[in-house]
Amino acid sequence: MTIPTNANLINQYVGAATFANGPGGPTGTRSSSGSGGGTSWYEAMSRAWGQTLDAQATEITSLSDAIGTGSDQPSQMVALTAASLKMQFMSNNAATSQNSVAESLNAVARKQ
């Protein structure tokens, strides 16, 4: 199992995605001529979470495949369990952050 040593991995993904696709005007979206192709930072955050969760799912799949092919050592089982729990933690945080930001954007939209 590979555990990133950088605790700010999610922030890096979100930051890179926001930089590439960030807001270009007061509405929070770029025009179609921009590099984002009309995407907002909220969509960039969603893509970043998706990429991060996909990477973790790939790790879980590879650990599971290794166990399925006969490498069922206790250390492999513990690594799979840890990777699965990490996926659960990340999924919960992705949902919480998406919901919090969506509620905030909704509140801002109501006040305008």
In a domain, 62, yes or no: yes
In a domain, 21, yes or no: no
What's the pLDDT tens digit per position in 69-104?
987 789 999 999 999 999 999 999 999 999 998 888
In a domain, 82, yes or no: yes
Q: What is the pTM of this model?
A: 0.61
Long-range Cβ pairs for the range 76-84 (8 Å, 24+):
79/1, 80/1, 82/1, 83/1, 83/56, 83/59, 84/60
Q: Give residue for tokens 């069922």.
A: 72
- Are the beta carbons of 41 and 7 closer than 8 angstroms? no
In a domain, 20, yes or no: no
Which residues are registered as beta bridge partners of 40?
A: 29
What's the pLDDT tens digit per position in 3-56?
444 445 555 555 555 455 444 444 444 444 444 555 788 888 889 999 999 999
Q: How far apart are CA 99 and CA 112, in angstroms?
A: 20
Q: How many domains does the chain have?
A: 1
In a domain, 87, yes or no: yes
In a domain, 71, yes or no: yes
In a domain, 31, yes or no: no
Domain with 70 in it: 36-111
Indicate the burial class of 98 (C-beta count within 10 angstroms; 0-12, 13-18, 19 or more).
middle
In a domain, 10, yes or no: no
Does residue 29 sit in helix, strand or coil? strand
